[in-house]
Amino acid sequence: MAALSRLPFHTSSHPKPSSLLRLPASLPVRHLSFRCPTRLPSLSVSVSCSSLIEPDGGKLVDLVVEEPLRNSRKLECLGLPRVKLSRIDLQWVDVISEGWASPLTGFMRQSEFLQTLHFGALRLQDGSVVNMSVPIVLAIDDEAKGRIGDATRVGLFDPDDNPIAILNDIEIYKHPKEERIARTWGTTAPGLPYVEEAIRDSGNWLLGGDLEVLEPIKYNDGLDQYRLSPSSLREEFSRRNADAVFAFQLRNPVHNGHALLMTDTRRRLLEMGYKNPVLLLHPLGGFTKADDVPLSWRMRQHEKVLEDGVLDPETTVVSIFPSPMLYAGPTEVQWHAKARLNAGANFYIVGRDPAGMSHPVEKRDLYDADHGKKVLSMAPGLERLNILPFKVAAYDKTQGKMAFFDPSRPQDFLFISGTKMRALAKSKESPPDGFMCPGGWEVLVEYYDSLTPVDNGKVPEVVGA
């Protein structure tokens, strides 16, 4: 891994992508729309047209067992030592199995864990380097370790004891929690949402190995049709004849400032010579912290954004990214970018304080607001991905709409923070005209209204992400 220091960094130029694999003529292509997209079956090879960027490692990983073999594999799984997965573990199984973390083929063994933790990258057998900034690991406790004993394979079961996967050629090693937390988040302060949910009380051992997932992961929450795998997304981009794909990661409702950034990005790409840039609007669908708007409500809000014409449905693909949210700032934003590269995006929009949050103890941001975009521009293994930094958008009082901030007339601009937006929605007040499409704002108001205690003093149950 010492050779990492000699890797070239990004340049400011944006070369046109080179010719890659062509879409096989026999591959079935189905029409998708935001209202009712189809989750297509996983493919065992990378699906890309001549203008789509190649996935890390040259081939998308697909770890779902072929349908004729599923019953026999399930019987095998039932006879193996059992490891129960948490809700977040199951989300990571989904991520790995569909190829978002390609070329990773399972939960990390110690060598992959250490490379990720200390270098933020993995070196492949051919000597090439791919970015991998966050550990994707499975923690087990002493009891599970004893139950596994000398076995080389284990069965993975969901919280309801349904068989999910077989983990092959396993390796058990120590879980250095403090080191993992410190290197991933840059602090061990109490109150980090993902740490408190998934690490602090987890087992003292990590279990690595190669995954065989018994069937595609389903959440049965009414949103599975929006969960398109990287291969399905590549197929859709090819169907639309996209010659550039620009990805926008979000975990919040879309306001007109976001939309301005996305439409302006498409304009810039057209000026660069691309003929049909397509936007991947990609809300995060895994674990989020308690005060984030739940996925089901966010998807309703995003639908209104397209219905109201704020974004063009013909040049926008909306899909759910299954990863949990770590809130690990510049470390995590590399993971977000790498996963979208594997889905076919060759441009990635990055803004202020990506994947950041407030410090859990002190009254300040946990990360420098500019470090995320700077780190992305230098990250080993992401040289092929073009990074598009945000322009600052704010509400222009003279125009009555969201616009790019003009420092020569700061008195004309109003910055509406997420905190302010939530306060307005909770009190059922309207933001300035032009801040968010009316239909999208109504969804947000309805969500916060659903949190108001009813007559019995209880808050209605809200379905989480």
- Are 344 and 48 in contact by the 8 Å Cβ rule? The answer is yes
Write out pLDDT tens, residues 100-133: 999 999 999 999 999 999 999 999 999 999 999 9
We report the CATH number of the domain holding residue 192 as 3.10.400.10
What order do you get walking across the sheet with 316-318 strand by strand? 316-318, 277-283, 244-250, 347-350, 386-389
CA atoms within 13 A on the CB side of 200: 10
In a domain, residue 5? The reply is no
Number of domains in the chain: 2
- Are 214 and 25 in contact by the 8 Å Cβ rule? The answer is no
Q: Does the pLDDT at position 92 exceed 50?
A: yes
Of 178, 213, 248, the residue at which a domain comes to its end is 213
Query: Using N-to-C axis directions, what is the helix angle for 329-342 and 177-185, rounded to 10°?
Result: 80
Write out the DSSP string of 224-274.
Answer: GGG---HHHHHHHHHHTT-SEEEEEEESS---HHHHHHHHHHHHHHHHTT-
Residues 98, 243 within the same domain: no
In a domain, residue 29? The reply is no
Q: When comparing pLDDT for 382 and 40, which is higher?
A: 382
Write out pLDDT tens, residues 355-372: 999 999 999 999 999 999
Residues 187, 246 within the same domain: no
CA 15 → CA 195, 250, 313, 390, distances in Å?
39, 26, 27, 20
Q: 174 pLDDT band (50/70/90 cuts)?
A: very high
In a domain, residue 338? The reply is yes
Q: 453 pLDDT band (50/70/90 cuts)?
A: confident
Residues 211-227 have a mean pLDDT of 97
Residues 79, 178 within the same domain: yes
Q: How far is CA 458 from the centre of its chain?
A: 33
CA 122 → CA 102, 178, 374, 385, 388, distances in Å?
11, 22, 21, 17, 24
Q: 344 pLDDT band (50/70/90 cuts)?
A: very high
Q: 88 pLDDT band (50/70/90 cuts)?
A: very high
Query: Using N-to-C axis directions, what is the helix angle for 438-450 and 418-426, rounded to 10°?
Result: 70
Of 186, 213, 240, the residue at which a domain comes to its end is 213
Of 189, 213, 237, the residue at which a domain comes to its end is 213
Pairing of strands 347-350, 386-389: parallel
Q: Does the pLDDT at position 200 exceed 50?
A: yes
Mean pLDDT (the chain) is 88
Give me the domain span that covers residue 180: 55-213
- What percent of the chain has a predicted confidence (pLDDT) above 90? 83
